[in-house]
Amino acid sequence: MRFGQRPVGHMLLTLLALWPAAAVAAEPLPLPSVDFAAQGTFIGGGTLTIRHHGGMLRTDMAIPGAPMPMTGYFDLATRKALMVASTPAGPMAMEVNLADQAGYGAMIGTGVREGRDTVAGEPCDIWRIETNRPEEPVRSCITSDGIALRTDAVVGGKPQTVFEITGLTRGAQNPDDLRMPRDVPVMRLPMPQPGAPRPALPAR
C-alpha cells in the first residue's frame, strides 16, 4: 500500500504547488487617484486631451474629418458618461453607460497583471482585462496611481493600439471644467441588457 500511495502523495503535492500559478484571480483595475492632465492619440488618427479630478474625467477629442471636437464627461464612480457633440441645431449630448471600459486615461473592470512597460516616460503595469470576448483580448498599461497610458485591443481581427498618452502632467485641475453640463439637450441611449453582447473596444 505504501508503494501505491507514494506516487499519489507526490502528485497531490505537485498539484498544490502549481495551484497558485494556475488560479490567478482577477483584480479590480486601479482607477486614477491623482489629478492630472494628459495629451494623447487614438485609433483613426485622432488626438485628445484628458483631465481628471476626484473621479471625474474629461476628454476633448479632435476626430479626423469632424468639423468640431467632441467632449466626453465620465463619472468613474457611477459609470455614467455624457458625450457632447456640436450639431447644426446646437450642442447635443448623449448619455451612455460605461458597461465596459472608459478607455481614455482610465479603465473600468477587472483584470490580471501580465508584466511591465514604459509609456510616455512613465512606468506602468500591463493588465489583461476581462471581457466577454476572450478571443479578442484587451490590454492596458496602467500606472501605480491608476492612469491608463495605453490600451491595445483586437480591431477588425488585428491587434491595434486604440489609445496612447504622449504627455502627462500630474497637478491640480479645476473641478468646474470637469462637471457634466446641464444646459444641453440629452439623448439617452438604451442600456445593455444583462448577458447581452458588449463591444470589447474601450473607445466611447
Q: What is the pLDDT of residues 84-96, one digit of tens each?
A: 987 777 788 888 8
56/142 Cα distance (integer angstroms): 17
Asked if CATH classification 2.50.20.30 holds for the domain at 27-182, the reply, yes or no, is yes
Ordered by start, the domain boundaries in the chain are 27-182
Stretch 9-27: mean pLDDT = 52
β-strands 138-142, 148-155 pairing: antiparallel
Query: What tens digit of pLDDT does each residue of 70-121 get?
Result: 899 999 988 888 889 877 777 888 888 775 545 688 898 899 999 999 999 9
At residue 196, the pLDDT reads 39
pLDDT reading at 20 higher than 50? no
Q: In which region does residue 55 sit, left (phi positive, over 0), alpha (psi from -120 to 50) or beta (all else)?
A: left
Residue from 60, 67, 68, 73 nearest 178 by CA: 73
* DSSP label of 189: P
pLDDT reading at 39 higher than 90? yes
* Number of residues in the chain: 204
What is the pTM assigned to this prediction?
Answer: 0.77
At residue 15, the pLDDT reads 39
Q: In which region does residue 90 sit, left (phi positive, over 0), alpha (psi from -120 to 50) or beta (all else)?
A: left
- Comparing 99-103, 118-122, 177-181, 189-193, the range with the smallest average pLDDT is 189-193
For 18, phi then psi, to 5°, come to -85, -20
Stretch 126-134: mean pLDDT = 86
Residue from 131, 147, 135, 146 nearest 201 by CA: 131
Which grid cell sits at 188? Answer: 439617452
At residue 189, the pLDDT reads 57
